[in-house]
Amino acid sequence: MGTRSLTTFVETYKDNSGKKVKNEIVTMYRQYDGYMEGHGKDLADFLAGGELVDGFGMDDKVVFNGMGCLSAQVVAHFKDGTGGIYLQRANKNSGENYRYKVIGDFETKEITIEVFEVGNRAKKIFSGSPKQLQEKVAEVVES
């Protein structure tokens, strides 16, 4: 049995009245290697290599054209054949050990990753940029 994780992709933006809105796009279930040094590292490495944008040009840099595009690119990056990676509705109990939230802010174009360890209650163990998660994982691996 593997270390299961859920990764939920969330976009944030201001509506017409200026109120901040959070919209969950999709949740990805990973059946194995869900711990921070596994899935967390893989996720941070992929996201740190790109930039969240609103529109894109024809240059060679990796961009995510909004959170819908980012979500699809992450799923495409991780999915390789049958099993392992699944899409599901948000908040479905999957017996996961870790939960990740990838939050994209439409205004600032910043990507934040939150990591929760799941037991009787979910406990937040990290919140920061993909680069900061890479650094955190490197610290954990070294200790």
Q: How is the chain split into domains, by residue range? A: 5-142
Region of 91 (left: φ > 0; alpha: ψ -120 to 50; beta: rest) is left
Q: What pLDDT, on a 0 to 100 scale, did the predictor assign at position 9? A: 97
**Statement: residue 8 has pLDDT above 90:** yes
Q: What pLDDT, on a 0 to 100 scale, did the predictor assign at position 70? A: 96
d(CA 125, CA 17): 33
d(CA 14, CA 48): 25
Nearest CA to 41 among 98, 81, 124? 98
Sign for the pseudo-dihedral over CA of 21, 4, 126, 121: positive
24: part of which helix (H) or strand (E)?
A: strand 20-30
Report the chain's mean pLDDT, rounded to a whole number: 92
Q: What pLDDT, on a 0 to 100 scale, did the predictor assign at position 108? A: 93
Q: Hey, what are 135's tokens?
A: 């650094």
Q: What is the DSSP string of 107-125?
A: TT--EEEEEEEESSSEEEE
d(CA 37, CA 95): 19
**Statement: residue 92 has pLDDT above 80:** no
- Give pTM, 2 decimals: 0.93
56-89 residue pLDDT tens: 877 778 899 999 999 999 999 999 999 999 999 8
**Statement: residue 1 has pLDDT above 60:** no
**Statement: residue 124 has pLDDT above 60:** yes
**Statement: residue 122 has pLDDT above 90:** no
